Amino acid sequence: MKYELVVWDWDGTVLDSAGAIAHAIQAACRDIGHEPPSDEQARHVIGLGLIDALRLAAPELSPERYPALVERYRFHYLAGDHQLNLFAGIPELLSELQAAGHVLAVATGKSRLGLERALDHSGLRPLFQASRCADECHSKPHPQMLEELMAEFGVAGTATLMIGDTSHDLLMAQNAGVDSLAVTYGAHPHEHLLEHRPLACLHTVAELGTWLKTNA
């Protein structure tokens, strides 16, 4: 086994939620009378902590209006998050990795409350041994989430793998000195992911599973 610790991003990697997040960002901006970002701009900030994401999505907005934007974002996202689905094949892949002896963890831009809600709704809680969230660590691409997870399990960077769908995930991995895999079925386009030198860019969960079974 090359990678003892396999760390997963959540939105756009495990859960098919990137479109819903982008829509919620745009709807929140409209609600407070601010010009909404384009689809590309809204999807680019996915994976960051909420305040960092909204700051980039609406850079002209004055800071005193952030709380209103956050409240409207949460309203729109939570109105439909129970309808979001895991990417097909993800539960089976995670179960196989756990059975093979890998330690599985989550590093996400979600809040702790948001991740706990998602773990319960998805039924995946038993498969993950630890997690780090953006409201208890520095936001990606700062390496704190990965550094804390490696320290918790006593795993070296050379034995850790980060899997994500955004450049923020891949940059966090670089900053922490760990290898990364990119998936192209989430928020960021293939060409942007390639710029950050992941070990591979996988286009489907099936391709991801094949890579992991062969190389991890």
How confident is the model over 39-92, as pLDDT tens digits? 999 999 998 888 889 889 999 999 999 999 999 999 999 998 888 999 999 999
Going by C-alpha positions, the residue among 211, 3, 206 that lies closest to residue 92 is 206
Question: Does CATH number 3.40.50.1000 belong to domain 5-16+85-215?
Answer: yes
Percentage of residues in the chain having pLDDT higher than 70: 100
Mean pLDDT score across all residues of the chain = 96
Handedness of CA 210, 97, 118, 116 (dihedral sign): negative
Active-site positions read: 9, 11
Residue-level pLDDT at 175: 98
User: Mean pLDDT over residues 164-176, rounded?
Assistant: 97
Name the CA dihedral angle for 136, 174, 188, 30, rounded to a multiple of 10 degrees.
40
Domain residue spans of the chain:
5-16+85-215, 18-83
User: Mean pLDDT over residues 149-158, rounded?
Assistant: 98
Q: At 132, which helix (H) or strand (E)?
A: strand 130-133
Residue-level pLDDT at 101: 98
User: Mean pLDDT over residues 107-118, rounded?
Assistant: 95
Cα separation, 24 vs 113, whole angstroms: 18
pLDDT (tens digit, 9 = 90+) per residue, 174-188? 999 999 999 999 999
Q: pTM, whole model, 2 decimals? A: 0.94
Residue-level pLDDT at 55: 87
Question: What CATH code is assigned to 18-83?
Answer: 1.10.150
Residue-level pLDDT at 81: 86
Percentage of residues in the chain having pLDDT higher than 90: 94
Residue-level pLDDT at 54: 85
Q: Are 161 and 150 in contact (CB under 8 A)?
A: no
User: Mean pLDDT over residues 210-216, rounded?
Assistant: 97
Residue-level pLDDT at 214: 97
